[in-house]
Every structure is written in C-alpha cells, then in structure tokens.
Amino acid sequence: MTESGAIHARIRRDIEARIMSGEWAPGTRIPYEHQLMATYGCSRMTVNRALRMLMEAGLIESRRRAGTFVSHPRVQRAALEIPDIRDEVAGQGESYRLDLDRREIRAASEEDKRLLQIDGGSVLALECRHHAGGRAYALERRLINLAAVPEAAEVDFAIEPPGSWLLSHVPWTEAEHRITAFNAGGKELVALGISAGAACMALERWTWRGEERITYARQVYPGDRYALVARFRP
C-alpha cells in the first residue's frame, strides 16, 4: 500500500485503513505478530511497535496467547479544548476587554469549601465579565485555592484573565467540566444585557493537581450568542 516513511508507520497505516474501511470488523482477529513479520519482512519488534501504537489509540486490543483483535468501539471521546476566552475572542477577530467586578481574599466559606473540597484556608474569589467587540460575551465567577497556588494572590487579574494566567502558569493533572442550560435570572440580566428567562449556557470547571483542587470556575454565556464546538478524531 503506502510506501513512505518508517516501516512501523506503514504497518500502522495499513491496519488502520483495513479497520476504518470495515474490512476488519470489530472482534476480528488480526494476523499474529509473526505473520505480520513475514508479510512486511521485518522484525517482531517493529511489528510490535506498530501494534502498540494502535492499542494506545484504542483501535485494537490484545490478549496473551489468543492474539490481537479489533476493538468494539465504545464511548466517543471528543477533544474539547479548554477555552481561553481571550484567545477565543481574538480568534474571531473581535477586540477583547475584561471587567473585573470583584476581587477578594477571604477565609473559605462553606460554599468555597464544598466547591474546592478543602477544610479551611483562604481562597481568592473573583467575578469578572468578558467582552467581545464591546458586547458582553461571558460572565465568570472563579475561586482559586491559595494553599495550592499562593502566587495567585499577587497577580493583577484586571490585566490578565484568570483562566489565561492559570492555564499558562499552573500545571494540572485532571479536570472536570459540567455543562448545563438554564434560564437567566437576576444576576445575569444586567451583566450580560439579556432579557429575563433567556436561555444561558453554564460551563463549570474543577481543576486538580494530584489530589488537590486548584480552582473552580463557572462561566455563563448567553445562549443565543454562543456555541461550544469540539472537533475530534477517535
């Protein structure tokens, strides 16, 4: 088939093509490694490398002694980009502006403790509005666990949006998103300039580093102006 590049890449492409075309359906046993060695005239290590990559990609699974099989596709996985709102707005060719409405360092309240899963300590609480081309784009409420990120207390978030700063300064190991739709109430009406009851999208995010929660963010977008888009490959 293809002739370009390394042998392992070629083996990988060939097998992937056979699976994608449906020629090798889910559950099918693919040839044994020693058969692929013969087919491609290469060593087992090279075959194994190609198969290992396909395994990491989730296309195949193998069982010792039994062989290697085409996976039954399961959950779909989408590459959802963690939106840096400033970049997102700039990418649409609009001018970006940030209004910081509130900045407070306080001892963790009951709600803060629940959202950040901490027993005490102090948190940095922020409320801000993101504007695109002069119009309100999103409303953001954020909590930062100062025990995990003490240096955040010194940052001027009126200049750099908290999401942008955290993304580029704090490494994280795990995160969770929760996306919901709700009818706008008192708070959002003025801040986003929308009418009562208008549908809004809320994007909540919790971010961990190891066992420790770093930050909680809740971003609210007007439903008629915003769509969350994720494009991906399996």
- 37 φ, ψ to 5°? -55, -45
Nearer to its own copies, 78 or 107 (CB): 78
- CA 33 to chain centroid, in Å, comes to 36
Q: Specify the length of the chain in residues.
A: 234
Q: Which of 2, 6, 23, 77 binds DNA (CB under 7 A)?
A: 6
Q: Which residues have a Cβ under 8 Å from the Cβ of 103 and sit 6 or more positions away?
A: 124, 125, 126, 157
Determine if 12 is a binding residue for DNA (CB under 7 A): no
| 8 A C-beta contact, residue 165 and residue 157 | yes
> What is the spatial distance between Cα 51 and Cα 167, in angstroms, rounded to a whole number?
34
The β-bridge partners of 92 are none
Nearest CA to 88 out of 96, 98, 99 is that of 96
- Which residues, 47 to 76, sit near DNA by CB under 7 A? 48-49, 51-52, 55, 62-68
Q: Count other C-beta atoms under 10 Å from residue 90's C-beta.
A: 13
- Which residues, 81 to 140, sit near DNA by CB under 7 A? none
Among 105-113, 118-126, 127-135, 223-231, which window interacts with its own copies (CB under 8 A)?
223-231
* Residue whose structure tokens are 């580029």: 168
Nearer to its own copies, 86 or 103 (CB): 86
Determine if 64 is a binding residue for its own copies (CB under 8 A): no
- Which residues, 13 to 32, sit near DNA by CB under 7 A? 32
Determine if 186 is a binding residue for DNA (CB under 7 A): no
Determine if 110 is a binding residue for its own copies (CB under 8 A): no
Q: Select from its own copies, DNA, none the partner in contact with residue 129, using the beta carbon and a kind-dependent cut-off of 5 to 8 Å.
A: none
Contacts with its own copies, residue ranges (CB under 8 A): 19-22, 26, 53, 56, 72-84, 167-168, 170-183, 197-201, 209-210, 221, 223-224, 226-234
